[in-house]
Amino acid sequence: MNILVINAGSSSLKYQLYDMRDESVLAKGKVERIGMDSAILSHEPSGKNEVREVSEILEHTTAIRKVLGMLIHPEHGVLERIEDVHAVGHRVVHGGEAFSSSVIVNEEVKSQIKRLFDLAPLHNPAHMLGIQAVEQNLPNVPQAVVFDTAFHQTMPAHAFLYAIPMVLYRRHKIRRYGFHGTSHAYVSERAAQFLGKPYEELKIVTCHIGNGASCAAVMNGKSIDTSMGMTPLEGLMMGTRSGDIDPAVVPFIMAKEDLTVNEVSSMLNKHSGLLAISGISSDMREVTEAMQSGDKIAGFAFDMFTYRIRKYIGAYAAAMNGIDALVFTAGIGENSEAVRKAVCSGLTFLGLEFDDERNRTGRGQERLISTDASKVAVLVIPTNEEWMIARDTYALVSGGEPHGIAVTPEQVPSRGS
């Protein structure tokens, strides 16, 4: 069975085609600048040369048509006929409380995703465009959706509620949802396999550190807390996002700087984090290079970034009463020796013994970077969200169970109801 995995954004669309017989990637690529007359389709077929095509792509339906055309292209294609795409899996950022595992797309699922537009205004509408574009191009092909929030639906109410009037949760579903769930699920489970220990018996802290960054506490195979909140702005310091901030700062700066809601939101999401503090870049490579060539401000930004991660690891060690494994993943987590070392340097109180040599070697591979004697196994596990989406889609269209646990979110206690 061949499965096309799609991650649709408002002006871009990434794809990966899997042959599930051996789980190999037949092709991958992306369409950028959807909505413009000079949109770019970059296509990487396995075993063939990459190709880049510039053309007018005004909406997602055309983008999908172009991608499908590329998949069966006589020269750049990897399939004989379009009927060889047997199912499509979509990444969807926000599943709210409605979804705690992946599901097959039907009318009810689509209306639920639409109802969540308010909670993820930048993401869910774009995913819906992707789903509809596939329906138009491949009307008979089953589609599944895999949610970034689903894995975290196991969080207990004391971890997911904010200490604000309960009516706001009841009326607007304001609570912590958490994101990067597909990645946290994948790397925590791989960590257990790597260590040869039962997933259901481990206390794992996963650090997904890319442009967006979040930590999760995964206890006995379930997410019990995570650093992102109702939106992906809360928690760690990120490339351009502030992460945790005193909420009183928001109305304060709005008044002092005469900012609108959109302006303050844009400041916290796009002009903060590593970019704001380093004054150089949101990109960890550039900040690290500047730090290593003696730039003190870059060094300060780096310290602030890694301090916040360490603080969350400590908090989650307390939440779980200990840690068996600490996992680094995503762009920075997988690639930055310096960040991993700095984060782990203050964690000896947990019995964590970092191994410098292991940290330096084995790039791109799953590996242990703590000593054999360390009480906490520190691992680098490259994430693979696309594969998780393909796997769940395959399971669902074959009539099986998707990954993850279908849970009903814990009932929040209330008086008199």
Closest CA to 332 of 317, 316, 343: 343
Contact 185, 388 (CB under 8 A): yes
> In the annotation, is 225 catalytic?
no
Residues engaged in binding ligand ADP (CB under 6 A): 210-212, 239, 283-285, 288, 330-332, 335-336
Q: Considering the candidates 84, 148, 355, 356, report the single residue annotated as catalytic.
A: 148
H-state helical runs in 161-257: 166-172, 181-195, 249-257
* Residue 235 annotated as part of some ligand binding site: no
Query: In angstroms, what is the minimal distance from the CB of 383 to ligand ADP?
Result: 8
* Residue 173 annotated as part of some ligand binding site: no
Contact 287, 297 (CB under 8 A): no
* Residue 340 annotated as part of some ligand binding site: no
When the beta carbons of 221 and 273 are compared against ligand ADP, the nearer one is 273
The C-alpha atoms of residue 98 and residue 9 are separated, in whole angstroms, by: 21
When the beta carbons of 210 and 235 are compared against ligand ADP, the nearer one is 210
Residue nearest to ligand ADP (CB): 331
**Residue in the block written with tokens 């190999």:** 24
Query: In angstroms, what is the minimal distance from the CB of 9 to ligand ADP?
Result: 11
DSSP string covering 114-176, please? Answer: HHTTTT-TTTHHHHHHHHHHHHHH-TTS-EEEEESSGGGGG--HHHH--SS-HHHHHHH--S-
H-state helical runs in 231-381: 249-257, 261-270, 273-278, 284-292, 296-320, 330-335, 337-344, 356-360
Give the CA angle between residues 378, 331, 379 to the nearest 5°.
10
* Residue 14 annotated as part of some ligand binding site: yes
The C-alpha atoms of residue 12 and residue 19 are separated, in whole angstroms, by: 24
* Residue 60 annotated as part of some ligand binding site: no
* Residue 34 annotated as part of some ligand binding site: no
When the beta carbons of 180 and 391 are compared against ligand ADP, the nearer one is 180
When the beta carbons of 12 and 62 are compared against ligand ADP, the nearer one is 12
Count CB atoms within 10 A of the CB of residue 164: 11
DSSP string covering 50-64, please? Answer: -EEEEEEE-SHHHHH
Query: In angstroms, what is the minimal distance from the CB of 211 to ligand ADP?
Result: 4
| Amino acid in position 311 | K
53 forms bridges with which residues in the sheet?
41
When the beta carbons of 210 and 243 are compared against ligand ADP, the nearer one is 210
The C-alpha atoms of residue 223 and residue 185 are separated, in whole angstroms, by: 8
The C-alpha atoms of residue 340 and residue 197 are separated, in whole angstroms, by: 23
Query: In angstroms, what is the minimal distance from the CB of 285 to ligand ADP?
Result: 4
When the beta carbons of 178 and 210 are compared against ligand ADP, the nearer one is 210
Query: In angstroms, what is the minimal distance from the CB of 210 to ligand ADP?
Result: 2
* Residue 335 annotated as part of some ligand binding site: yes
Helix, strand, coil percentages in the chain from 3-state DSSP, rounded to 5: 40, 20, 40
The C-alpha atoms of residue 148 and residue 92 are separated, in whole angstroms, by: 6
29 forms bridges with which residues in the sheet?
15, 43
When the beta carbons of 29 and 239 are compared against ligand ADP, the nearer one is 239
Query: In angstroms, what is the minimal distance from the CB of 170 to ligand ADP?
Result: 33
* Residue 334 annotated as part of some ligand binding site: yes
* Residue 91 annotated as part of some ligand binding site: yes
Query: In angstroms, what is the minimal distance from the CB of 399 to ligand ADP?
Result: 32
Binding-site entries: 7, 14, 91, 208-212, 283-285, 331-335, 385
Instruction: Pick out the residues of the known binding site for Mg(2+).
Output: 7, 385
Residues annotated in a binding site for substrate: 91
Which are the catalytic amino acids? 148
